[in-house]
Amino acid sequence: MNVPIFRVLLIEDSPVDARLIEIVLSDAKNADFEIVRAERLAKGMETLEQGVFDLVLLDLSLPDSLGMETFERLYERASHVPIVILSGINDEELAIRAVQKGAQDYLVKSADNEQVLARALQYAIERFRASETLRQREEHLRLLTEQLPCVFWTTDNNLVFTSSSGADKLGLDLLPQLVVGRSLYQYFATDDPELTVIAAHRKAAGGNSQTFDMRWRERHYHVHVEPFHEKNGRVVGTIGVALDVTDQMQAKIALEVTRQVQQGLLPKKSPESAVFDIAGASYPADEAGGDFFTYIPWPDGALGVAVCDVGGHGLGPAMLMAQTRAYLRAMAQTTDDLGRILTLVNRFLCSDGGEQRLVSLFFAKFIANDRVLHYAGAGHLAHLLRTDGTHYLLKPAEIPLNIDDDARFAEYVVALEEGDIVVLYTDGIVECAKENGEQYGTDRMLNTVRSVSNLPACEIRDHLFREVRGFSSIPGQQDDMTAVVVKVRGIE
């Protein structure tokens, strides 16, 4: 039969008593005791720091310490180990004081106690471990209630509060001194006309767990109520927790509003042109993304196409995206020069003093009459695929917007031919990765577009997004993805 092995530090100056204790413990049937002895308190504390012990067996009368001071000095250094006092002094008052101060037991050296010594030590170890486990659980619960915006409580089967904690952090009047001994009806019968809270606690008292959301005193809570069982399984009340989710609810509402605003800003349909076949789409990674594309018509018939990527994704980038789009469209009404437009947009963004996020943008203007592409960019690339299989990298300024308010951006011009395809995109496409880190990449993107170059722009766009999503083995979308495909039509 396997028996537990306990390592015991014996602090005892008497060789005779020490030897007797070793003999008694060696005869124990239900446990094995490994004894390490120290003759002085100082040596014992030093030994304790150098090794791991299950228990300390302590004599109070030592050459370097006497009486309760011996225990107190040791306990101050070793409260993490159970201490049993084995003394030659039969003093009941001293024994009570020792236990009150933290000793697991107080045994008197005698022939009678020799027979129960091993059992007493084993009980002390098990009792200490059980209390330590309980202490750790209570500490964990305390930390949980301190760090989470939640309230814990218990009731009896009559729905009378028996405990409450955490209400002070939320500014609620459900403090223990106010609610213990009072009924839930006193708090929720008026504030909760539908009696959702009361009904949930009744069902929990009947043995059925309940989870629900509620609004109480201008705050939102996620509530869970469980039956409170005794050890024999009998339900003696309820235990509940309410998590304050007001901030999350407000953030969710804000994100939904932002998402709706964003979707409202994206083009509803592609512009019609006899010369250019155009199709674009944007897919945010979160409810509110940082990508956008837009079409800007000029009075002379030219068509502007812009693709933008704001660093990150979420609420902040989405708001900056909307701001950038507004500046871009406004400045496009003041000048035809794309470089000048980006210079002004950058100046406005930098002067706003908001969060300094990188804003990369590519702005293209397609001239139908001359089949010419004018473009300018800020840290953002685009590609022109020729019908002969070559491609032209449209690489303007490397510096993004919203970094340097003195930055200047230039406009470039390139001639287009029938069948040419211009691809404007954000890095969520080319940086889409597998679990091993391999990215979709620019070459794969261009080959994908080239493989279906005979199709209309909308089908090229859809095929590209399908291929990108099929490439990644990582669940979910890693980043916002936006692409606009512009194909030069033939002369009719």
Q: What is the mean pLDDT of residues 415-425?
A: 96
CA atoms within 13 A on the CB side of 316: 9
The neighbouring-strand residues paired with 37 are: 10
pLDDT at residue 340, as a whole number: 94
Indicate if the pLDDT at residue 459 is higher than 80.
yes
d(CA 461, CA 452): 10
Q: Which CATH number fits domain 252-488: 3.10.620.30, 2.60.120.200, 3.40.50.300, 3.60.40.10?
A: 3.60.40.10
Residue bearing the bigger pLDDT, 138 or 488: 488
Residue bearing the bigger pLDDT, 196 or 444: 444
Domain boundaries, the chain: 5-143, 148-244, 252-488
Among the listed residues 443, 445, 461, the one whose alpha carbon sits nearest the alpha carbon of residue 277? 461
- Whether the Cβ atoms of residue 107 and residue 86 lie closer than 8 Å to each other: yes
pLDDT at residue 395, as a whole number: 82
Topology of the domain comprising 148-244: Beta-Lactamase (3.30.450)
Q: What is the mean pLDDT of residues 280-297?
A: 84
Among the listed residues 77, 75, 38, the one whose alpha carbon sits nearest the alpha carbon of residue 85? 75
CA atoms within 13 A on the CB side of 158: 7
d(CA 452, CA 458): 11
339 pLDDT band, cuts 50/70/90, is very high
What tokens appear for 154 in the block? Answer: 């218990």
pLDDT at residue 320, as a whole number: 84
What tokens appear for 201 in the block? Answer: 């606690």
CA distances to 47, 326, 335, 481 from 299, rounded to whole Å, are 90, 19, 12, 30
Indicate if the pLDDT at residue 192 is higher than 60.
no
- Whether the Cβ atoms of residue 151 and residue 174 lie closer than 8 Å to each other: yes
Q: Apex CA 459: angle with CA 454 and CA 461, to 5°?
A: 105
d(CA 134, CA 140): 10
Query: What is the Cα gyration radius of the chain?
Result: 38
pLDDT at residue 439, as a whole number: 93
The neighbouring-strand residues paired with 412 are: 375
Residue 21: CB atoms within 10 A of its CB come to 25
Minimum mean pLDDT among 104-113, 425-434, 436-445: which range?
104-113
Indicate if the pLDDT at residue 117 is higher than 90.
no
Indicate if the pLDDT at residue 270 is higher than 90.
yes
pLDDT at residue 313, as a whole number: 61
Q: What is the mean pLDDT of residues 408-437?
A: 93
Q: Which CATH superfamily is domain 5-143 in?
A: Response regulator (3.40.50.2300)
d(CA 316, CA 39): 68
Q: What is the mean pLDDT of residues 199-224?
A: 86
454 pLDDT band, cuts 50/70/90, is very high
User: Strand, helix or coil at 65?
Assistant: strand
Indicate if the pLDDT at residue 326 is higher than 80.
yes
- DSSP β-ladder status, 276-283 and 291-297: unpaired
Indicate if the pLDDT at residue 165 is higher than 90.
no
The percent of residues in the chain predicted with pLDDT above 90, rounded, is 42
The pTM assigned to this predicted structure is 0.56
pLDDT at residue 245, as a whole number: 84
pLDDT at residue 132, as a whole number: 78
User: Strand, helix or coil at 19?
Assistant: helix
385 pLDDT band, cuts 50/70/90, is very high
Minimum mean pLDDT among 113-117, 208-212, 215-219, 369-373: which range?
113-117
Minimum mean pLDDT among 286-290, 459-463, 477-481: which range?
286-290
d(CA 351, CA 332): 19
The percent of residues in the chain predicted with pLDDT above 70, rounded, is 89
The dihedral built from the CA positions of residue 247, 248, 251 and 253, taken in this order, carries a sign that is negative
Q: What is the mean pLDDT of residues 131-137?
A: 70
- DSSP β-ladder status, 105-108 and 235-244: unpaired
d(CA 368, CA 370): 6
